[in-house]
Structures are given as structure tokens and as C-alpha cells.
Amino acid sequence: MSDVVTFSWGADEASWSIVIHGGAGAVPMEARARHVEGCKLAAIAGAAILRGGGSALDAAQRAVELLEDDPVFNAGTGAALNTSGEIELDAALMDGSLRAGAVCALPPFVSPIKIARAVLDEGVHVLYAAAGAEAFAKEHGFVRTTTEAMTSAAARAQFVTMKQSGKGSEGWAGGTVGAVARDSSGHVAAATSTGGTFMKQPGRVGDAPLLGAGTYADDEAGACSNTGHGESVMKLCMSKTAIEWLRQDMHPEDAARAAVAVLARRANGSGGIILVDRRGRLGLARTTDTMSFAAMSNQHAEPICGS
């Protein structure tokens, strides 16, 4: 695990802003540019929605859709396999008016964040799990696919390596993906999607779909998406903790740094976090070797990217 690493954006309050992460981990040097490129394309897509006056919710969702469709990330296509060699997906979407939708332990569907959006739009329940999530998805027109169709060569190779050796690299796909945004109407939103941890037990659910753990948004404070060791993140309610610091007017850069420091100190966990506050200010920090990211705002002509 690295020391806490943060980034400075060189931009402060913004009428609209968005930051994307491609997962905390230890992506090999030769793969980092590809991960950053995926985040950059997602940020550009989200920014186009915000620039046109669209909502933070639509922007965060669109960015995560692209990351889910990109097989280099551990979300949607390219997701990690569990010990049975199957894909089980977690995703959540929340906006600052406290509308939320999430799915967990979802069998293979191409875009879990779209299903989370359908849950949010329906507005009856917040979180559907496993067979219930599958039934909800089918009732709303989504088509189940297969683990084979959604498994990248890298994910399959990782599974084989881990089966044979009991060990594998944490960093092959980075990790969970996420996006947080603030729109020009002053609303915020957060979206997170993941295949979960490598070789998780069937039925294991991580932090991503749990409001306040991996994902949270509140127009009176800001929005947050986490990545990293889900069991540690959920024990600390890390998203809600960071959001409460934003509510007290802590700068998102300071809140991000403090959140991952607490993750390491109290839960011995590793991971990363992205934040936007109600004024459009951004924050990002990680304890891991890498976390690919991209950010844009009305003050940036080009995305700011890195890992």
C-alpha cells in the first residue's frame, strides 16, 4: 500500500464539474495509459451532458455506463469472477435530492447502472438483490446475458491464476468504477459500479451498492463514490462520513485525504475516493499504487487525467 496520495485540480468553485475513477488498485505500468484513456472518454461524455445543461444524475450515469462497457475495468463487461467462476454485479446511483436506486449480486446484465437507474426512477424500493434484482431488470426490459459474454480474457486469466495458486494480482483491472458530478442547477449525483472483489464468495456484496458506504449524494453537502476493499469501506460508512465533512465545509481535497487515511488507520483497508461538493469543488485520494481518474469542469477545456 502507498501513502495517501491526493491531487490538486487548480480550479475551485465551478458551475458544473465531474470526476471519474477507474478503481483503486495496482495497475501495471504498461496498462495505466489505457485505464486513463477509458476514464478520459467517460469524463468527456459526462461533461458533454453537463455543458449542455443536463443533470448531474444523467452525467454520472453516462460516465459509468461507458466504464462498464469498457472491458479493462472491473465493472459490467470485464467484471471479476467469483469462486464459482460467475459474475455477480453491484451498482448504485443517487442524486442530491436523495433519490436512489441500486442492485447487488446481480447476475450478468450488460449495464447494471442502467438497472439501478430504473430502480431510482420507479421510486418504490432502493436496493434489489440477486434473483429479485434479476426479476426487476427483466420486468423493466433488460435482457440477461451470460458470464461468458461479459468475461474479458484478462478476467478469465486472473480467475485461472487465482484458482491454481490461490493468489492473484489485486491490480489487473483497477477495481470498482465511479463518477460524481455537480450540474449547473446546483444538484449533485454519484454513481458506482463493480464486479466486486476477485474470487469473492457467491452472494458476497461489497460497499458499492450500499448508500453511505460506497455511494452517497446530498445537495446540501456533495457526492461521493468509493473504491477499494469493500468490507473495510462499509464498516466505516465511508461515503457518508466524507459527505458529513463536506457539509461542515471541509474542502473536498481535505475530506478525500482524511477519508482514505481513516480507511487505512481504522480498518486496515486500502482504497480510493472521489468527491464533489455543493459548490462544484473536487477532491480525490487513494492509498493504493494507482487509481485512474479524469475530471472536467466549466473551467477546464480538456480533462485532467492521471492514475
Among 55, 158, 194, 287, binds ligand GLY (CB under 6 A): 194
Under the criterion CB under 6 A, does residue 197 sit at the interface with ligand GLY? yes
Which entry of 77, 147, 151, 176 is annotated as an active-site residue?
176
Query: Is residue 206 near ligand GLY by the rule CB under 6 A?
Result: yes
Contacting ligand GLY (CB under 6 A), which of 68, 183, 207, 253? 207
Shortest Å distance, C-beta 176 to ligand GLY = 4
- How far apart are alpha carbons 133 and 148 in whole angstroms? 20
- Interactions with ligand GLY, residue window 157-186 (CB under 6 A): 176
Residue 196 as a binder of ligand GLY (CB under 6 A): the answer is yes
The answer to whether 228 contacts ligand GLY (rule: CB under 6 A) is yes
Stretch of residues binding ligand GLY (CB under 6 A), selected from 65-73, 140-148, 215-223, 226-234? 226-234
Q: Which residue has the cell 453537463?
A: 50
Stretch that binds ligand GLY, among 100-108, 165-173, 225-233, 238-246 (CB under 6 A): 225-233
- Which of 61, 158, 227, 290 lies at the binding interface for ligand GLY (CB under 6 A)? 227
**Is 287 tagged catalytic?**
no
- Touching ligand GLY, residues 8-47 (CB under 6 A): none
Segment interacting with ligand GLY, rule: CB under 6 A, options 4-12, 42-50, 206-214, 285-293: 206-214
Contact flag: residue 112 with ligand GLY (CB under 6 A): no
* Nearby residues of 104 by Cβ (< 8 Å), 6 or more positions away: 89, 90, 127, 128, 129, 130, 133, 205, 209, 210
Q: Does 96 bind ligand GLY (CB under 6 A)?
A: no
Closest distance of CB 208 from ligand GLY, Å: 5
Identify whether the C-beta of residue 103 lies closer than 8 Å to the C-beta of residue 214. Answer: no
Interface ranges with ligand GLY (CB under 6 A):
176, 194, 196-197, 206-208, 214, 227-230
- The residues carrying an active-site annotation are 176
